[in-house]
Amino acid sequence: QITSPSNESEFEDYYYFRWEYLRKELNQKLGTERDDFDLDDLDLVVNVGHPIHRMILNNNKERKIIGVGRAHQNSLGAYQVRYFAIHKNYRRLGLGSSLMNDLELHAIEHHRLHSNSSKLHITLNARENALNFYEKLNYKIIKKTNLLFGKIQHYEMMKKII
């Protein structure tokens, strides 16, 4: 099930998953999994200009988070996906593709509601080991970018949506 965190407890679990899968292995402290687009005020999350937080829950009674991703608008017609991760035990099952599709659909919906621009593209900064995944989803490498925490090479990728 793909959903959005809807209360403080769910957001804390969401951010912890982001840290565990994207920062812990790099010996980064809790808090490094957040940036200026991550808001404390739950009411603002659904408003214009604020990020789209999505997560996949397993189908068990515990409803454990097994994947996360966030999209936000950078400028008119330009969105970015960040903090994308799938639990290692659930990879190669199509869940990552489903979550990316969900984020893209939310960006399209937001764009149609709040923009009169006819163009829309989504960018992301992919880790080197994830390039094939994003290329299968029709993202194209734009350029080699930063070395995250001096350890993991990233590449800017883009997909033209409209």
pLDDT digits (tens, 9 = 90+) for 123-158: 999 999 999 999 999 999 999 999 999 899 999 999
Q: Which pLDDT score is estimated for 4?
A: 93
Q: How far apart are CA 18 and CA 34, in angstroms?
A: 9
Q: How far apart are CA 132 and CA 35, in angstroms?
A: 26
Q: How far apart are CA 102 and CA 108, in angstroms?
A: 10
Mean pLDDT of the chain, nearest integer: 90
Tell me: the pLDDT tens digits for 26-84? 999 999 999 888 865 454 444 445 688 999 998 877 789 999 999 999 888 899 999 99
Q: Which tokens sit at 127?
A: 């880790």
Q: How far apart are CA 45 and CA 51, in angstroms?
A: 6
Q: Which pLDDT score is estimated for 60?
A: 74
pTM of the model: 0.90
